[in-house]
Structure 1
Amino acid sequence: MTEPIPQPAGPGDRPPPARFAYDSHTWKEMAHLLTNLPVSIVGFVYAVTALSVGAGLTVTVIGLPLLALGLTGARVLGRLERARARAMLGVRVDEPSPLPWRRSGGFWPGLWQAVKDPVGWRTFLFMLIRLPWGILTFTVTLTGLFVLWPVLAFVVRAMADVDRAMVRGLLSPSDELERRIAELESDRGVVVDTAAADLRRIERDLHDGAQARLVNLAMGLGLAKEKLLEDPDAAASMVEEAHGEVKLALQELRDLARGIHPAVLTDRGLDAALSSVSARCTVPVTVTVDLEERPAPAIEGIAYFTVSELLQNVSKHSRAHAATVEVWRSDNRLFLQVRDDGVGGASLDGGTGMRGLAERLGAVDGLFVVDSPEGGPTTVTAELPWRDRSGTPAGKAPGRGAPARGRR
């Protein structure tokens, strides 16, 4: 009966069990243990030198920069160690998030960010404790080639498992914290880009709309002034036209102000504001707002503009006969749901509008879910963190519960 051939390491990074017959995994582990000594010596010398020089010179101006440089270099050595473990031990460890250098604030804040880098410090610890372990693994493996050959595969596997544990424990990212740092860095970029886009939109609307009308108004009034004595009827006609321009300019300014932050939202909250925006939709909209208190102004504004843009999509693209807007709170989350009985087919990949909404909500730890099969109906659910009017997270509150989430 033929003995089964061992399979490569699976998703758990665990090689097949050791056995008396040597296989490729055993030889790779043996090579890793034999190279531990020279690699450990290099890492130990680097860590001791960087720490002693950086810490010893902290009383001077160059101490902290040298320590920061040493920690940054430790990240590079850690990346090489992860690659070696991946190639020889089959350990698949995610790369830590890049060092979050501050984009503003000057040299010293960025330097301090590098000095307190947890990835660099864990790599230093790894290099310091690896030297005695490297000496032990090198000695046992080398001498075992002539003494422990029948059981060397099992000894090698046991020592390699210790190496795997050290790599996972000290060279893997501290998932929650570092993932959160990466998310916040990305979210900050989204917020900055969104704010810049909003400023450009306001500037464009002012330049192309109200400003152009006011220029025409000034020119019309100037011509009317010149004709006032010689041709009163023509002057009166020009003043009438100027009056019409004033009305249009005022309307455009009101629309622009409403697009920045509507007064009804500030004065009366989401219920009145969403009722107002739904009245401008080309489809009959039923609005239900079930909130015992108002959220923080920032959350309230995001909720309003999210529903407003979704209702614009309903007007432009859905070909629906009716739509509903529901807003409620469940625990520490604010939920918005917009439904329509239109043709469906909406998705985050269908254009920049939906994707932009998803990015804006993601920047404040929100969620954006689209369920819109071809033929309809379409249900869009948005979820935001609840913050009270003081801006702090509130405790749990009774609510309707979270909706079932559809396709993102």
Structure 2
Amino acid sequence: MTAVTPDQPSVAPAGDPSSSGTPVPGPATQPLAADVAPPKAGDVVAFTGSRPDPRYVDHREHVGFARAPFAARTWREYGYLWLAILLAPFAFTYGLFAVVFLVAMLVPVIGLVVAGWVVVGGRGWGSMYRSLARSALGVDVAAPAPYVRRRGFWSTLWSGIGDGTGWRAVLFLLVTFPLAIVSFVVSTVFLAVGLGGMTHWFWSRWLPLQQASDGSWHRGASFGTDWFVDTPVRQLGLVLVGLLFVFLWAQINRGFVQLFRALTVALLGPTLSSLRVADLEESRGRTVEDADAKLRRIERDLHDGTQARLVAVAMQLGEAKEQLATGGDPGEALDLVDLAHSSTKEALVELRELARGIHPPALDNGLAVALETLAARSPLPVTVDVDPEVEASGRLAPAVESIAYFCVAELVTNAVKHARATGVYVLVERQGSGRGARLRLRVRDDGQGGARVVQPGSDGQRSGLAGLAERVRSVDGSFELTSPVGGPTVVTVLLPVRV
């Protein structure tokens, strides 16, 4: 690997320090910007660990086996089974009617419009079941894309009978009918047997007397012809059996509810492909906005900075020319020329920085060279490790190189300005091969931590990390942030090698 360290590094260069749980000591200061503030309710934070399913949010609390029969969650789930069995006949009837009515209307085409609206009406059932899942099961399932009615008779016809969301809702109504019956009956039987066995010692006194084969009389539950639960030992045994059934009921109840939950997510939520399309559309919109904002910023910098400075240079040279033409003081003219010369050099520096912000010239020689140059120019010690395999199989796509470079540049800037870090470690490596190859960046600083991604608010402003995340998503990459308060902050970016 290629390692570049501008000064004595405060982060160990060997290996990936981000895998170590011991941060390098750094100054303890308060956050200075939104990027390094403690997370608050409502903030959108980059995911850490495995990526969650984007179709739902699970608000359920963890309940152990011993506490399950007494947990409010278990009884809410049992209440869901009651609601499911009450709604199941009506839901099944609607689903069956949607299928039968569509088949019946195939000949009179005009009836297909009504059949289409029946299919679309399944969305209403889906919305109701999602609400039940949210309140009773603690699972907030995202709503699918709304139905859009197209113009024209045939467009309206096919958009209705071809509504995938409506058909998936109809399938849910048909599939959950037998599940509702079986789950309610089995769960209720286990609960009734459990509670009955636990309280048999109390209510068995009101049972009618039964005669055994030997002529003796007994009062209590009978198993077979001559075995009755009417002694203290047998009563205690039945209490234990009833208690076992109650604990089993909680697990069986949870299992059936898990099936309902899975069907709700799979059939009543958005499909992964539709979420993918929506995500790409949002990412594309953000990318266009970022590009427009960058052009406006360049125009503003040129107008307010470089252009104003060049106008001043022109005025200074004009004044010097006038001095010389009218026989004025040559020393004064020389001072004006010298001032114009200094202003010209400052303008060139501004133009060079502006061009570097658009496309760093060092990227023309590859990502490794560009990152080495970035590390050398950083006011903070930066250690860069670049796996030779990154460019051994050919240059990366220009867009990928640019995004990777600006990700590292932004993260190093954050470490300098906000995190109060004393060192940064950058690891760049290639994962996989062929079309599925990915470029992995890992940037770690030993600062104060507490970084978070702030999405645009009402004023349209957002943090630099949010901009990085959007930029990474624009090429189907992933952005992962881990930043506990106190540090260290570790950002992992995965980018496709080819766009």
Per-residue CA distance 1:168-188 (angstroms, 9 max, x = gap): 537433664455445445434
Per-residue CA distance 1:318-368 (angstroms, 9 max, x = gap): 555554433222333323234455xx2133239833444345435543223
Say which one has the larger Rg: 2
**Aligned equivalents of 2:421, 2:282: Cα separation in 1:** 36
> Which letter maps to 2:478?
G
**Aligned equivalents of 2:288, 2:335: Cα separation in 1:** 48
Tell me the equivalent position of 2:438. Answer: 333
> Which letter maps to 2:373?
S
Three-state SS of the structure 1 residue aligned to 2:294 is helix
The match for 1:306 among 395, 407, 413 is 407
Q: TM-score, normalised by structure 1?
A: 0.63
**Aligned equivalents of 1:84, 1:31: Cα separation in 2:** 9
Matches within 5 A, 1:35-114: 35-38=87-90, 73-83=121-131, 90=136, 94-99=140-145
Q: Does 1:264 align with 2:312?
A: no
The match for 1:211 among 297, 304, 307 is 307
**Aligned equivalents of 2:309, 2:161: Cα separation in 1:** 57
Q: 1:180 to 1:94 in 2, by over 3 A?
A: farther
Contact 1:347/1:354, CA 8 A, preserved across alignment: no
Question: Shift of the alpha carbon at 1:43?
Answer: 6.0
Contact 1:99/1:114, CA 8 A, preserved across alignment: no
Give 5+ residue unaligned stretches, structure 1. Answer: 16-24, 145-149, 392-408
Q: 1:211 to 1:306 in 2, by over 3 A?
A: same
> Which letter maps to 1:211?
Q
Q: Does 1:223 align with 2:319?
A: yes
The match for 1:357 among 461, 468, 473 is 468
Question: How much is the aligned-residue C-alpha RMSD, in angstroms?
Answer: 5.0
**Aligned equivalents of 1:91, 1:321: Cα separation in 2:** 47
Contact 2:95/2:171, CA 8 A, preserved across alignment: no
Three-state SS of the structure 2 residue aligned to 1:282 is coil
Tell me the equivalent position of 2:480. Answer: 368
Give 5+ residue unaligned stretches, structure 2. Answer: 1-66, 194-248, 455-462
Question: Shift of the alpha carbon at 1:285?
Answer: 3.1
Question: Shift of the alpha carbon at 1:308?
Answer: 1.3
Q: Does 1:277 align with 2:365?
A: no
Three-state SS of the structure 2 residue aligned to 1:325 is strand
Three-state SS of the structure 2 residue aligned to 1:345 is coil
**Aligned equivalents of 2:306, 2:119: Cα separation in 1:** 56
1 or 2 for the larger relative contact order (CA 8 Å, sep ≥6)?
2
**Aligned equivalents of 2:319, 2:103: Cα separation in 1:** 80
Q: 1:281 to 1:244 in 2, by over 3 A?
A: same
Question: Shift of the alpha carbon at 1:97?
Answer: 4.1
Q: Please say which of residues 225-234 and 272-281 is displaced more in the overlay.
A: 225-234
**Aligned equivalents of 2:68, 2:382: Cα separation in 1:** 66
Question: Shift of the alpha carbon at 1:165?
Answer: 5.6
Tell me the equivalent position of 1:240. Answer: 338
Q: 1:12 to 1:288 in 2, by over 3 A?
A: farther
Question: Shift of the alpha carbon at 1:40?
Answer: 5.0
**Aligned equivalents of 2:258, 2:305: Cα separation in 1:** 65
Tell me the equivalent position of 1:398. Answer: none
Q: Please say which of residues 314-323 and 48-57 is displaced more in the overlay.
A: 48-57
Q: Does 1:119 align with 2:165?
A: yes
Contact 1:275/1:287, CA 8 A, preserved across alignment: yes
Tell me the equivalent position of 1:383. Answer: 493
Per-residue CA distance 1:216-247 (angstroms, 9 max, x = gap): 23333443444441145244443332232222
> Which letter maps to 1:80?
M
Contact 1:335/1:381, CA 8 A, preserved across alignment: no
Q: TM-score, normalised by structure 2?
A: 0.53
